[in-house]
Amino acid sequence: MSRIAERQVSFADWELVRQGLCHEPLLQAISDFLDDQKDIIDQVRGDLTRGLKKAETGRSGLTPQQVLRSLVLMRVKNWNYRELRERIADGCTLRQFTDFYCLPVSRHDAFHRGFNRLTPERLKEINDLVVRAAVELGLEDG
């Protein structure tokens, strides 16, 4: 699992942002809301590193931001793991939303493993956050 809080933006990533690619309104609202939720990202990071003997070493995996945003996207769009991976890999805006940008998108089983490391309490908290944000923004009636 990756322990990097903020990754460095590449020139290709910067060019995508500069071109002004925009999300659909629902995903843009969710993205803006998730940008303000630093505490939930820290809690997701804790879940991802829970039980690891040496969390600071080893192979880099999905970042907490990628896990959180991919989980939200999967739930909002009602996709399975394979479709989630394929859609993220195929679309620039979904790559931007899930924080992959120009990085290779992990296989579907990596998403499964990442989501399974989250505790039931964390999943409930994430769901409550997204529902609360949708109600506050007027996107859903709750």
Summarised one tens digit per residue, pLDDT across range 17-54 is 777 777 787 788 888 888 888 999 999 998 988 877 77
Residue 138: predicted pLDDT = 76
Residues above pLDDT 70, as percent of the chain: 88
Whole-structure pTM value: 0.81
Contact assessment for residue 86 and residue 80, using Cβ atoms and an 8 Å cutoff: no
The residue type of 63 is T
- Across 63-85, average pLDDT: 93
Residue 1: predicted pLDDT = 44
- Residue 32's contacts (CB-CB under 8 Å, 6 or more residues apart) are none
- Across 76-87, average pLDDT: 94
